[in-house]
Structure 1
Amino acid sequence: MSRLTAEANGVFVISVTPFHENGAIDFDSLDRVTDFYLEKGATGITVLGMMGEAPKLTQAEAREIVARVIKRAGGKPVVAGVSAPGLAAISELSSAVMDMGAAGVMIAPPSSLRTDDQIAGYYAQACQAAGDGVPVVLQDFPLSTGVQISNATLGRIIEDNDQIVMLKHEDWPGLAKISALRKAESEGRRRISILCGNGALFLPEEMGRGADGAMTGFGYPEMMAEVVALAGNGEMDRAQDLFDAYLPLVRYEQQPGLGLAVRKHVLARRGAIASAALRKPGAGLQPAAIAEVERLIERQTKKLKELK
């Protein structure tokens, strides 16, 4: 399997981790949802992300999930999240997943970082911990981590660490950060790939600012693949029209503490996973929320028919 490069583009879907009702990993559904993502247009898959319930997994389970998805993906690139409070854990998991054939690893900063020097120093150490030459995705998600990475500090990290080939852009508001990165590249700084998160809530605008695609999840991953493809072809109005048809459900998925339950409900409804169960702590949707999601899906279906 080829390694991740700074030219990566398209849609790397953040995979859910399917569970049985008793909390055990549902590996048959993991195979099924991997097939589903690729059939719906995913360029690659990212496992062990925050929406993959990675903190609820043991190290052994995490390795088993990565191995299973890499085998099932049939050569498509698989990125593994290896974020951890300590560098030893990052080193151990990175070594394991790269030996399995992962395309690269994704690392978010620990919430303890406060200053620009601390952030820059951390990524120098994290790249070293990941292993010599291992491609690294820098996850910039201050709403979750609490770590604010300025444009200047981000530029410093990129210049000092050739292993960082991709930014998972999840700053919010953060469109200006994409513009600043691309401007710096036009003035001579090395290029990196920019794939965007936040549940695709700002995907058309991010593509317009120069992003290369998305690295996030949604119950209808084909929307992300189609929007990225249309935007890449310069068809921004069509991309926006398509995105707008899905926007109410995208918005509903953005509810803190509820979004993953919504996504898993939709994926189970579409047959991609057997159960919408979350591993504890975590709960599924209440009947009123299910009714709201079903209504949004019904309206979405009508809007898509109108577009055709």
Structure 2
Amino acid sequence: MTISRTENGVYSIAPTPFTPDGSVDYTSIDRMVDFYTQAGVTGLTVLGVLGEAPKLTQEESVEIASRIITRADFPVIVGVSAPGFAAMKSLSGAVMDAGAAGVMIAPLRTLRTDDQITNYYRNASQAVGTDTPFVIQDFPLTFSVEMSVSVIARIANENANAVMLKHEDWPGLEKISALRALEEDGAMPRLSILCGNGGSFLDFETERGADGAMTGYCFPDTLVELVGLAGKGERDAAHDLFDAHLPLLRYEQQPGVGLAVRKYVFQRRGVLDYDAQRAPAGKLTDTARQEVDYLLDRLARRDSRAANLPK
């Protein structure tokens, strides 16, 4: 069960649950996978930026990924980004052996020119193995690496195992249209395009040709419904649902606080036992928690999924 260029739907970015002392919370991991199953997601992406991957040891990364893969009945993509190709190769081999559906690779922050970016992905493709499908992570707001449409096309043309783009450029709607135009003209192979940024532009991204979402908003069931409505051409219903969630979605997208919000809401939804992050990490202030509670109360008037959440 490996990913291909035709993937669509919602691949949720999963957080890594921790206990207050920083230990991995495997009980919550099991409950979290069950929650995503009930939410109807197409798949999961684990050990990404918001999975706190840099704070994990190699052994923990493999154990967490393996635990999730074993429990899930859907494809699991594993982030294997690393400063060097040796670590990337080791982690990729271990998680693919455990049953991962593919891996996700972010660019090094030092990459600046088009040739540096394409050379990096060519080497990364070799490191993970050309039979291992991988996701190109295009997130300039975090990685400070600007991938033009032509660079993404080069990566797709040069690496048969580059099958998906995690699109998080901002603004990025025109980028989706340009990529689909190149595909239509035969200038590049098709890539599955799944969008991030918490779903901030998902209402229009699907209309521009995106295949769905790969993000970690605290209501993944909403993203599943939204992508489904868009796929059926129910434009107004999709936008109405998006509009109802936009205030909370926007709040969760704040740099530096988004993961804390997400884990707090997941705790309130009964997914996680704790909203803890592994150090170093920020915490929600009492005021911020009250603001999130207020947004949930307002959302509950329009979406019952936010109603009656214990505090």
Q: TM-score, normalised by structure 2?
A: 0.96
Q: How does 1:252-291 map to 2 (within 5 A)?
A: 252-291=251-290
TM superposition shift of 1:23: 0.3
- Describe the superposition over 1:217-258 as per-residue Cα deviations: whole angstroms up to 9, x where unpaired: 011111100010000111111000001111100000011110
- Kindly provide the amino acid, as one letter, of the partner of residue 112 in structure 1: T
- Describe the superposition over 1:183-209 as per-residue Cα deviations: whole angstroms up to 9, x where unpaired: 011111321100000011110111010
Q: TM-score, normalised by structure 1?
A: 0.97
1:303 alignment partner in structure 2: 302
- Describe the superposition over 1:160-192 as per-residue Cα deviations: whole angstroms up to 9, x where unpaired: 111000000000111111001100111113211
Match of 1:183 among 181, 184, 191: 181
Identity of aligned residues (%): 56
Unaligned runs of 5+ in 2: 305-311
1:156 alignment partner in structure 2: 154
Q: How does 1:126-205 map to 2 (within 5 A)?
A: 126-188=124-186, 189-205=188-204
Q: Distance in 2 between matches of 1:85 and 1:110?
A: 7
TM superposition shift of 1:84: 0.8
Q: Distance in 1 between matches of 2:269 and 2:147?
A: 38
- Kindly provide the amino acid, as one letter, of the partner of residue 14 in structure 1: I
1:95 aligns with 2:76: no
Q: How does 1:41-60 map to 2 (within 5 A)?
A: 41-60=40-59
User: Residue 183 of structure 2 contacts residue 189 of structure 2 at CA under 8 Å; is this kept in 1?
Assistant: yes
- Describe the superposition over 1:102-143 as per-residue Cα deviations: whole angstroms up to 9, x where unpaired: 000000000011110000100000000011210010000000
User: Residue 256 of structure 2 contacts residue 282 of structure 2 at CA under 8 Å; is this kept in 1?
Assistant: no
Unaligned runs of 5+ in 1: none
Q: Distance in 2 between matches of 1:236 and 1:129?
A: 42
- Kindly provide the amino acid, as one letter, of the partner of residue 83 in structure 1: S
List, as ranges, runs of 4+ consecutive aligned residues in structure 1 with deviation greater than 6 Å.
none
1:208 alignment partner in structure 2: 207
User: Residue 268 of structure 1 contacts residue 276 of structure 1 at CA under 8 Å; is this kept in 2?
Assistant: yes
User: Residue 14 of structure 1 contacts residue 45 of structure 1 at CA under 8 Å; is this kept in 2?
Assistant: yes
Count of equivalent residues: 303
User: Residue 82 of structure 1 contacts residue 107 of structure 1 at CA under 8 Å; is this kept in 2?
Assistant: yes
User: Residue 40 of structure 1 contacts residue 221 of structure 1 at CA under 8 Å; is this kept in 2?
Assistant: yes
1:235 alignment partner in structure 2: 234
TM superposition shift of 1:304: 2.6
TM superposition shift of 1:283: 2.9
2:308 alignment partner in structure 1: none
Q: Distance in 1 between matches of 2:52 and 2:144?
A: 19
SS at match of 2:302: helix
User: Residue 276 of structure 1 contacts residue 284 of structure 1 at CA under 8 Å; is this kept in 2?
Assistant: no
- Kindly provide the amino acid, as one letter, of the partner of residue 91 in structure 2: L
- Kindly provide the amino acid, as one letter, of the partner of residue 72 in structure 1: R
1:34 alignment partner in structure 2: 33
Q: Distance in 2 between matches of 1:82 and 1:103?
A: 13
SS at match of 1:156: helix
Q: Distance in 1 between matches of 2:303 and 2:168?
A: 27
- Describe the superposition over 1:10-55 as per-residue Cα deviations: whole angstroms up to 9, x where unpaired: 0000001000000000000001011111211211011001011111
Q: How does 1:75-86 map to 2 (within 5 A)?
A: 76-86=74-84
2:22 alignment partner in structure 1: 23
- Kindly provide the amino acid, as one letter, of the partner of residue 35 in structure 1: D
